[in-house]
Homo-oligomer: A and B are copies of this chain.
Amino acid sequence: MATTIDQTQTHTEQWHALAQQLRVDSVRSTSAAGSGHPTSSLSGADLMAVLIGKYMKYDWDHPDNPANDHLIFSKGHASPLLYAMYKAVGAIPDEEMLTFRKFGSRLQGHPTPAIPYVDVATGSLGQGLPIAVGIALAGKYLDKLPYKVWVLLGDSEMAEGSIWEACGTASHYKLDNMIAILDMNRLGQRGTTMLEHHGEIYAGRAAAFGWHTIEIDGHNLEEIDQAYQEALDTTGQPTMIIAKTLKGRGVSFLEDQLDQHGKPVQADKGDAAIEELGGESNIVIQTQKPEPMSPFPKGSNASVELPTYELGAKAATRVAYGDALKALGAREAVVALDGEVSNSTYAEKFAKEYPERFFEMYIAEQQLVAAAVGMSVRGRVAFASSFAAFFSRAYDFIRMAAVSRANIRISGSHAGVSIGEDGPSQMALEDLAMMRAVFGSTVFYPSDANQTAKLVALMADTDGISYIRTTRASTPVIYGADEEFTVGGSRVVRESENDQVTVVAAGITLHEANKACEELAGEGINVRLIDLYSVKPVDGETLSSAAEATGGKIVVVEDHYPEGGLGSAVLKGLIKGENYELMPLKLRHLAVRVMPGSGKPEELLHAAGIDADCIANAVRELAAQ
């Protein structure tokens, strides 16, 4: 079936034949699926034909070759075009291409790394470019390899702020290994884009953001060829090619038409479309290949000496995060990124020791997380830090990172009302809910510096999205430096044979609970105190034992809004066994239920009803029942 390209043709004729095949296949796969985006694929077909026909260096037999170029479809809905390219380079057979969007197929509606040639999931617009920045940073500053990062952009997504975070960052870091190709087809989902075919405005904006820009006719194969060459020849800055295209290009009744977004060709017109495009073909081309290279070795044998803190001393968990991160720097694969607050998150400790592996992302949290995802694509162990509250800015990126099966570590400092005077804008009070709901995530909330160090080290070896919530204030060191902590673990901090109530706390509230327990002990009320440092997964066994030992009387206390945090985690943990049984409980849930203001940490903890006094009162009430 497969044919090679006709060598008697000129390059332009060959690319044209290839582009038409990409178009035909985009129509065929979406028709077979009964859904998808053929018209958004047709506009970019010429651009992609020249890319694989001449420029892109990729060893399709070895997608793990670290020298391969990267290609990211930031406009993920053009997946039919991408999958048609995979067929055209011989990476997938025609039959598989026609499984597009079917249950069980790796060729999903939007690209995901279920396919080995796809670096990251796209489909939430505006994400491909900032992730590409992370890959390009790795290429230029860490890998020091000549691979290029090609990004196909849609014009609708140019309205997303994340695109401009990426543009600013890419030029700041002089990422001349990045080439963005803007498929400016003028039409969005429900009508025209904001800037329609005003390529000069896109070019002006990209240039103002420090990019080399080239405006071309995106259906003129020679202009495309020249633009790619010019991009490759450009040094010291990234290049954006603004390609004027027509949505539905090549099919007269689809071309530049409104109301043709995201629809397969009408059933009775499919043949006509394919005929107009020149009919089916099965050309398989050879792309350029990079030099063969072995995949980077995984893991590291570097010995990491974690920081230790003296029992009884005071230390902030955010400081311990910084110390541990610096210690982990002994592993070459570890990189750190921060959102211009590294003197608060203490990522600066790493930055000072390993400046070549620290990346300042400025106040651009979407780019911060996206760059970490890009580092993950390049096999790096990336830690991204900012105030916990500000990761809410990047939630879509975190959600999508999980779809991408990326391995990233996030450190959110300044959690809860306990930060004090800065007030609610700086207080993370929904981060546990947000991070627990991420697919496959691991969520830690340590109370102690030694524990923090151990958990940060665990994060380095934990796949998926892991999150650590740190505290601004210095708190007592309560664990010895030799104690171990685990994913899914917890610690019983106090217990006796006649505990009347279980208290579950983490982070700042563990110390409040400890104080309450001291006071209650003087009154003859014994409490089992659990440090639920692993909020997800949660240690159901320890929680259940404690609940049983204390007659189902439990106080959960957290510096977080009531929904989705520690309280939810505890209830989830208490459902146990094959019968999914939840024992009878008397459960007081102390959480932040009033909008906080400014004040001293102790004033705000009290006002929120989560300080030692409030915990003691809740325990007394339960104990008396």
Contacts and interface: CB of A to CB of B under 8 A. Distances in A.
Interface in A160-178: 160-165, 168-169, 172
A78 to B, nearest CB: 13
A2 to B, nearest CB: 26
A294 interface: no
A344 interface: yes
Contacts of A191: 340, 360
A433 B564 contact: yes
A599 interface: yes
Contact of A439 (B360, B586, B595): B595
A322 interface: no
A436 B439 contact: no
A585 B599 CA distance: 41
A309 to B, nearest CB: 24
Contacts of A162: 161
Nearest to A422: B109
A201 interface: yes
A393 interface: yes
A424 interface: yes
Interface string A359-375: 01011111100000000
A287 interface: no
Interface in A139-155: none
Name, among A110, A201, A344, A563, the residue most crowded by chain B CB atoms within 10 Å (CB to CB).
Answer: A563
B400 A425 contact: yes
Given A33-B421, A112-B424, A436-B433, A157 B363 contact: yes
A625 B390 contact: no
B343 A190 contact: yes
A484 interface: no
A453 interface: no
Interface stretch (A9-17, A55-63, A205-213, A234-242): A205-213
Interface string A582-625: 11111111000001011110011001000000000000000001
Contacts of A169: 159
A304 interface: no
A548 to B, nearest CB: 12
A279 interface: no
Interface in A531-567: 536, 561-565, 567
Contact of A341 (B189, B392, B422, B429): B189
A438 interface: yes
A565 B164 CA distance: 33
Oligomeric state, in copies: 2
A395 interface: yes
Contacts of A536: 563
A581 interface: yes
B364 A108 contact: no
Interface string A109-126: 110101000000111111
A301 B148 CA distance: 62
Nearest to A584: B584
A121 B424 contact: yes
B395 A392 contact: yes
A322 to B, nearest CB: 13
A210 B208 CA distance: 12
A579 B156 contact: no
Contacts of A438: 430, 561
A210 B194 CA distance: 12
A160 B363 contact: yes
Nearest to A338: B190
Given A106-B597, A112-B424, A164-B164, 13 more contacts: A107-B598, A109-B423, A121-B424, A126-B363, A160-B165, A168-B194, A194-B362, A208-B208, A402-B595, A433-B437, A437-B564, A580-B587, A583-B584
Interface of A: 33-36, 76, 101-110, 112, 114, 121-126, 156-157, 159-165, 168-169, 172, 188-191, 193-194, 201, 204-205, 207-210, 340-344, 348, 360, 362-367, 389-390, 392-393, 395-396, 399-400, 402-403, 420-426, 429-430, 433-434, 436-440, 536, 561-565, 567-568, 571-572, 575, 579-589, 595, 597-600, 603-604, 607, 625
24 contacts: A34-B421, A101-B598, A103-B604, A106-B597, A107-B598, A108-B598, A109-B426, A157-B363, A159-B363, A160-B363, A160-B365, A161-B161, A161-B162, A188-B363, A189-B340, A189-B344, A389-B399, A392-B395, A392-B396, A433-B436, A563-B572, A579-B625, A582-B586, A582-B587
9 closest residue pairs by CB, A with B? A161-B161, A123-B425, A103-B599, A564-B564, A433-B437, A430-B437, A164-B164, A109-B423, A208-B208
